[in-house]
Structure formats: structure tokens, C-alpha cells
A and B are shown apart, each in its own frame.
Chain A
Amino acid sequence: MNKDLGRLLLEHSMSGMIKLSELDILSAQTGIPAPGLEVLAVNRGIIPFRYLRNLGSISAAEQQNLFHAKVAVIGCGGLGGYVLEQLARLGVGAIIGWDYDIFEEHNLNRQMLSTVDRIGQKKAEAAAARVEAVNPAVTFQGIEEKFDCENGKRYLTGCQVVVDALDNIPVRLELAGTCREMQIPLVHGAVEGWYGQLATQFPGDKVIEQIYAHGETGNPEKKYISTLAFTPALVASLQVAEVIKILLERGELLRNKIMLINLLDMDMETIEVSREDSTGCSTAEVIQNK
């Protein structure tokens, strides 16, 4: 980094943090856009002031780790919208938002990225705009393709964690297989009505395959899956907590477990899943692979 620029960033910081207003002043002086300066500041150990209230729960070093992490969110609908919002606010530095679909009117009841004026527009585009509005220092890549193992291998390279925010079983199983092959931890979430479920699958674990062992595509009698706004918001939040713990190697993960959430009875239960079918790697092994 340019020595003068480093000195300028230090001069404009206070107690190891730098405010957006100072970045704007520096940007006017240097001609470098503020988000670019923010990246340079983080690389120099200066934490953007926007993360003040992250600190205490996570350390400055961990905040830097998040900034250098890359996470892919597969699906930008009910779950994905909330997941993307939180990852951007938490300060995950590189995010992929994957969705080929466009917003329809019936998404408005629950999908955070859907607004009246975005009906008919691509979900991945809305995701890019939202991340840019919330945290322009995040490097966002929108993928407007249907997920399959082939494009999965192309785009997921370099991701530390993948989030399953899909809406159907066959593609979920394809995603689980792709993540296993690529040795990337996968945080699974799914919702329907008042009910949701969550599981974290490390390479070699086989929880998702056991959940969807019958490979059904759902009840053919049903014309559509109903979902209430709070269910994806909750499950997405739980998924993001798992993502952050994987990235920071902290806390307890929902590995070889399924959390089943019933918001009608206000009941959450975690079922232990047998590891007999699993040849799962340890956390340390996965981290070593990175």
C-alpha cells in the first residue's frame, strides 16, 4: 500500500476505527472511492466504524477474518434475502447471491428483497442492489443461472461456506453433493408454513441426504408451498449464526443434528442424526483444506 495513503488512513482513524464521513473526506482528497479505502483500512488493521457494535461479541481480528471470507448463498428468495442482508451487515467481505428467478407478486408476503417496484425483475439483481446499499465495501457476485453441479464447481471455488436457501429437494441434493466434492461446509435451511428446519453439513456428513432420503419433490396434491414471513426470517438468522461460527471456528455447530422448528406450538427440537453413514471430516480437517 502507498505509504502516504496508509498514513492518511491512520490520521483519519480514531481508536483503531474509521468513520464513513472520514472515508468520504479521504476519497475527495485521493480520488479513491470510499469502499475501496475501507478495504485498504481493514487490510491495515483499521476497523470501519460501522462494525462498532459487532466488537465485543467478536474481536477486531475476527472482524478482519469475516472481511476476508467468501460465502455463497444459493437462492435469493425467502431465506436467501434475509441471509444476504445479515452477511452484508456483519461484514462478510465477499458474497455470492445465486438465483435465476424473477420476483412475482406472491413473493411480497415474505421475501425481504421483493418490493412492488421489483416485480418482474431478477432476484440476483435486487440482491446486488441491496448489498451495495447496505455495505458497498462487500464484493458481491450475482449468478443468474440454475444451480447444477457443473456451474457449482465453477463458481463456488474459494468459498469457505455455502448456504442452502433453495426451494426444492432435487437441487438441494445436487448442492449437497457438490459441496461434499468441493470440501465446503453447507448450512441447510428449509421452511414451510409455520415450520422450519436447519442443519449444518460438513464434507462427508450425510444429514441432508438422510432428511430427503425418499427423494420426493413434495406433495403433488399441493399447488404451492405456503410460508409465513417470520419463518424464513427466523431460519435465515439461525443459518447466518452457523455461517459466522464456521468462519470464526467458534461455538457449537448443528452438525449431525437437525433442528426442527414449530412456530405454531412455539417448539424447537434438535434430533441427533446417526453418524454411522457419515465419513465426515473434522472441523480442523476442513479448515486445513482451506
Chain B
Amino acid sequence: MKVTVKLFAYLRKGRFKASDMEFREGTTVLQILDALAIAADERNIGILFLNGKHAEYSSVLKEGDVLSIFPPVAGG
């Protein structure tokens, strides 16, 4: 299945801004983070939106989904 992955802020470093990626049916958010080599320390602070809705690491993706991953920006 094809899903679109969008990365924001410093998660783009050495990766990409947006990419259409091919995954097996039943792939979870966590497996995609692994595939993108988003390390644990980055992952722990990651914000995940699947089709514009807050997702969990265990969320399962389906064809055509858009996964947005961004670090929490919280300074003022």
C-alpha cells in the first residue's frame, strides 16, 4: 500500500519533507518510524498526526493515509 509521510522541523534533516512510501498492509506508525530511522530520543518527543488526527505508535495505516510527524515546539 502507498502512504504519504510528511516530516517537519529538524526531523527533515538527512531525510525528506514529504514522500510517498510503499509499505505492507497492516504496517503501524511505529514500524514507519523504524523504517525512517527516527531514533528513540526523537521518537519519544514526536507528535503524530494520521490524516489530521492524533495517532498512537500502534495505529495501523491503510492505503492513501497521510502520516505527519513533527517534534513538539513548546518555547515562547
Contact = CB atoms under 8 A, between A and B. Distances in A.
A195 B9 contact: yes
B15 interface: no
A165 B47 CA distance: 20
A226 B68 CA distance: 24
Interface string A215-255: 01011010001010000100000000000000000000000
B23 interface: no
A213 interface: yes
Given A260-B8, A260-B70, A213 B76 contact: no
Given A167-B74, A190-B75, A267-B17, A262 B51 contact: no
Interface string A137-169: 000000000000000000000000000111111
Contacts of B22: none
A195 B49 contact: no
Contact of A214 (B41, B47, B68): B47
A212 B10 CA distance: 18
Contacts, number: 90
Contacts of A277: 53-54
B12 A265 contact: yes
Interface string B1-33: 000001011101000010000000000000000
Interface residues of B, number: 23
B53 A167 contact: no
B72 A212 contact: yes
B52 A262 contact: no
Contact of B8 (A193, A219, A221, A262): A262
A286 B70 CA distance: 31
Interface in A75-118: 75, 77-80
B35 interface: no
B70 to A, nearest CB: 6
Given A213-B54, A221-B41, A267-B17, A78 B47 contact: no
Interface in A249-283: 260, 262, 265, 267, 269, 271-274, 276-277
Contacts of A195: 8-10, 71, 73
A167 B73 CA distance: 9
B58 interface: no
Interface string A7-38: 00000000000000000000000000000000
Interface of B: 6, 8-10, 12, 17, 41, 44-45, 47, 49, 51-54, 68, 70-76
Interface of A: 75, 77-80, 164-169, 172, 189-197, 210-214, 216, 218-219, 221, 225, 227, 232, 260, 262, 265, 267, 269, 271-274, 276-277
Closest 4 CB pairs of A and B: A274-B53, A167-B76, A225-B75, A210-B54
23 contacts: A79-B76, A168-B74, A189-B76, A190-B73, A190-B75, A191-B73, A192-B74, A192-B75, A193-B9, A194-B9, A195-B9, A195-B10, A211-B47, A212-B74, A218-B72, A219-B41, A219-B45, A225-B75, A262-B8, A262-B9, A265-B12, A272-B52, A274-B53
